[in-house]
Chains A and B, each alone.
Chain A
Amino acid sequence: MTRWVGLLAAAAAALLLGVVVGPADLPLDAVWDGLLGRGDQATQAIVRDLRMPRALLAFFVGGSLAVTGAALQALVRNPLADPYLLGLSGGAGLGAVAAIVFQVGGVWAVPLAALGGALLAIALVYRLALVAGAVLDTRVLLLSGVVVGAFAASLMGAIIAISPAPEVRNALLWLLGGFDAASWRAFGVFTAYAAVPLLVIYRQNRPLDLLALGEEPASFLGADVERLKRVLYVAASLLTAAAVSVSGIIGFVGLVIPHAVRLLWGHLHRSLLPAAFLLGGVLLLVADAIARTAFAPLSLPVGVVTALIGVPVFVLLVRRWAK
């Protein structure tokens, strides 16, 4: 119980931090006025139209990445699994770089192209992993994910090498991750979309516990393992593809948050999944606050900061656990 109170308090504090802290040096009472729709226009715009949707979006993306990581680690029974392992980052990157280099017009061209690339990679990996008819072999899934990712990355490299446009460098910066495109609309679209795969994954929490024992024991204990694997893979991949399209590729959250939660509170997915969601959200929100303010007015890619905070925290956890 105290765990949940603590996690919810941390989430609330992180959301508050995301609204209070920023490169624009606003005093607390100005932020409060801005929240209530009082005070000058610029402050209101910064607080209500930029910081609030950005904080909420960062929180939801962080939570989604952590849940995806937890589900995929259980699915492929590999502690190194993370949301991008299965070819997604390569597919999304290829889509984004192609859209920029070939100057696909339109306001949403880059995020939509990234989403398209990721979905294409997912379809390809899934098809490759269905080796023996309708059976999804998780070892082949892992391998084909890596292979499709490498293939997409090579294509991306080829495009970058032959296209001189300076925009390519900026495409790569976009891929490093960030929430500069955050808006109420982006937040609304992402949450409406993410809610479905998040619920689908959560509903599988009991079968996920069984799957951790191995596919055979799980099926003896009554889990429909083949269906479970397909549902999990599709839900996790679609969730990650959406995250990539709103915020680029943010490493580390999906890899380490699930492990941290397991070290702290055990392996039961019924509590592991929601706890990972909250903690992933907190980490990404804090990382984004640091990315925006540490070198203001310059800003850092948020993926750099998630690793800089996450690695030391994780090392401390592992040391504590090893004692």
Chain B
Amino acid sequence: MSLRNLTALAVMAAVSLACEDRERHADGPVIDDTGHPVSLVRSPTRIVSLAPGHTELLFAVGAGDRVVGRTRWCDHPPAVATIPSVGDGLNPNVESILARDPDLVVFYASASNEAAIARLEQLGIPTISLLTDDLDDLMRAADLLGTITGQKATSDSLIDWLSREIASLRASRPGGSLPTALMVAWDNPPIVIGNASFLSQIAELAGAHNAFADVDRPSLTVSMETIVERDADLILIASDSGIPAWAERPEWRVVPAVRDRRFVVVHGTEFSRPSFRAPAAIRRVRAALQEWHRR
């Protein structure tokens, strides 16, 4: 299913369900990803979203028309461009949020947001904190947001669709031994992507094995010789600027995959955060990997 069909489906579902669902209150207390109960009296109508992934998710579940504030990093879907920005999403400016007169503020679950959350709750504005670091997080977050915005039917069908897509991608993964992929987050000190990151999840589903899959954290600082020792088959780069400048540095050229220029490059914001665009992103990486195999 293409992205456009998916959006159409979401819009249809939203329109058909909006009338009845918006009236209904969330059943029972909703507990967010920081263990904090969400104290909503009625379904929110003015939502400030403080993470690009959360904004995208609100649009996907059909509550996009209720988003009245976003971060300056929110860039998808294109409709977010008309929504006023409140600045940064982490450690945000409480005054800018209040200026949007919200009845729900959606945070990324992070310790750096605690002060802003406490301040808003004190002022009687409900907040919810969500983690969206991988696809499992995404489905849980979609369920929570669908529930509290009264769009549960839409979120249920999206989650169902995503689970089936992932299962089918997993089933159709190329057989045999997978190539190992190195994903570099930073060059000096060298920071690489570990197992607990979305990019690693994408690579695994697309048909490559993260060279640092044994380290269960989003990223890790390593030394150059560890990277050489891992001897990855290819370097997966998800960046709009293409092959990075560090590939020319002498210490990086000691890495065989860099020296032999075994780069697989993909562009787009769908690689930077989990979203319902993930199946399409995975297919693009898979196609790029197949092209690499043919080289």
Binding site for B on A (CB under 8 A): 22-24, 41-42, 45-46, 49-51, 105-107, 109-110, 164, 167, 170, 173-174, 178, 180-186, 292, 296-299, 301
Complex-state Cα separation, A24 to B227, whole angstroms: 9
Task: Tell me whether B223 and A180 are in contact (CB under 8 A).
Answer: yes
Closest Cβ of chain B to A232, distance in Å, is 31
Spell out B's residues near A (CB within 8 Å).
72-73, 88, 185-186, 188-191, 212, 215, 220-226, 228-229, 231, 245-246, 248-251, 254, 256
**25 A-B residue pairs with CB within 8 Å:** A22-B223, A23-B223, A23-B225, A23-B226, A24-B225, A24-B228, A42-B228, A46-B225, A50-B225, A107-B246, A107-B249, A109-B245, A164-B88, A170-B189, A173-B189, A178-B188, A180-B190, A180-B224, A184-B250, A186-B250, A296-B226, A297-B212, A297-B222, A297-B226, A299-B226
Please determine whether B222 and A183 come into contact, CB atoms closer than 8 angstroms: no
Q: Knowing A42-B256, A180-B223 touch, does A105 contact B228 (C-beta < 8 A)?
A: no
CB pair B188–A181 under 8 Å, yes or no, is yes
Give 9 nearest A-B pairs by CB, closest first. Answer: A183-B250, A24-B229, A170-B186, A49-B254, A299-B223, A297-B226, A183-B251, A23-B226, A46-B225
CA distance A24 to B230 in the complex (A): 9
Distance to closest chain A CB from B224 (angstroms): 5
Residue ID in chain B nearest A177 by CB atoms: B189
Contact indicator B72/A50 (Cβ below 8 Å): no
Bound-state Cα–Cα, A182 to B88, Å? 36
Chain A residues lying within 8 Å of B189, measured Cβ to Cβ, are: 170, 173-174, 178, 180, 299, 301
Contact of A292 among B72, B223, B245 (CB under 8 A): B223
With the chains together, A301 CA to B188 CA distance in Å?
11
In the assembled complex, how far is the CB of residue A83 from the closest CB belonging to chain B, in whole angstroms? 21
Please give, as numbers and ranges, the residues of chain B lying within 8 Å of A184 by CB-CB distance: 250
Measured in the bound complex, the distance between the Cα atoms of B188 and A167 in whole Å is 11
Whether B188 pairs with A110 at a CB distance below 8 angstroms is yes
Q: Are B228 and A46 in contact (CB under 8 A)?
A: yes
Once bound together, how far apart are the Cα atoms of A106 and B96, in whole Å? 37
Which residues from B are CB-within-8-Å of A41? 256
Q: Which B residues touch A42, using CB under 8 A?
A: 228-229, 231, 256
| B222–A182 CB distance below 8 A | no
CA distance A286 to B221 in the complex (A): 19
B240: min CB distance to chain A, Å: 12
B192's nearest neighbour on chain A, judged by CB, is A297
Q: A162: nearest residue on chain B (CB-CB)?
A: B88
Query: In the bound complex, what is the Cα–Cα distance between A298 and B216 (angstroms)?
Result: 12
Given contacts A23-B222, A167-B186, A298-B222, contact A50 B228 (CB under 8 A): yes
Max chain A CB contacts within 10 Å: which of B88, B189, B221?
B189
Which chain B residues border A292 with CB–CB below 8 Å? 223, 225
CA A51 to CA B229, docked complex, whole Å: 12
Given A164-B73, A297-B215, residue A105 in contact with residue B226 (CB < 8 A):
no
Residues of A within 8 Å of B185, CB to CB, are 170
A106 CA to B221 CA, complexed, in Å: 22
Give the CA-CA distance A143 to B222 in the complex, in Å.
39
Residue in A45, A46, A170, A301 with the greatest tally of chain B CB atoms within 10 Å? A45
Which chain B residue shows the least CB distance to A110? B188
Residue numbers in B under 8 Å from A110 (CB-CB)? 188
A50 to B73, CA, bound (A): 38
Given A178-B189, A180-B188, A301-B189, 11 other A-B residues pairs in contact with their CB atoms under 8 A: A23-B223, A42-B231, A46-B228, A105-B245, A107-B245, A110-B188, A164-B73, A180-B189, A181-B251, A186-B250, A299-B221
Residues of B within 8 A of A167 (CB): 186
Q: Which residue of B lies closest to A50 (CB)?
A: B225
Contact B88 A299 (CB under 8 A): no
Interchain CB contact under 8 A, B186 and A46:
no
B residues within 8 A CB of A46? 225, 228-229, 254
Do residues B188 and A45 form an inter-chain contact, with CB atoms below 8 A? no
Nearest neighbor of B72 in chain A, beta-carbon distance: A164
Q: How far is the CA of A107 from the CA of B229 in the complex (A)?
A: 24
A164 to B86, CA, bound (A): 13
- Give A45 to B228 CA distance when docked, in angstroms: 8
CB proximity of A7 to chain B, nearest CB, Å: 27
> Nearest Cβ distance between residue B215 and chain A, in whole angstroms?
7
A312 vs B186: C-alpha distance in the bound complex, in angstroms?
33
Residues of B within 8 A of A173 (CB): 186, 189, 191, 221
A105 to B229, CA, bound (A): 29
Q: What distance in Å separates the Cβ of A156 from its nearest Cβ neighbour in chain B?
A: 18
| Chain A residue with Cβ nearest B191 | A170
Chain A residue with the shortest CB-CB distance to B245: A107
**A251, B224: Cα distance in complex, Å:** 22
Known: A170-B186, A174-B188, A292-B223. A23 touches B229 (CB 8 A): yes
- A298–B221 touching, CB < 8 Å: yes
Complex CA gap A180/B11 in Å reads 50
Measured CA separation A23–B166 after assembly (Å): 36
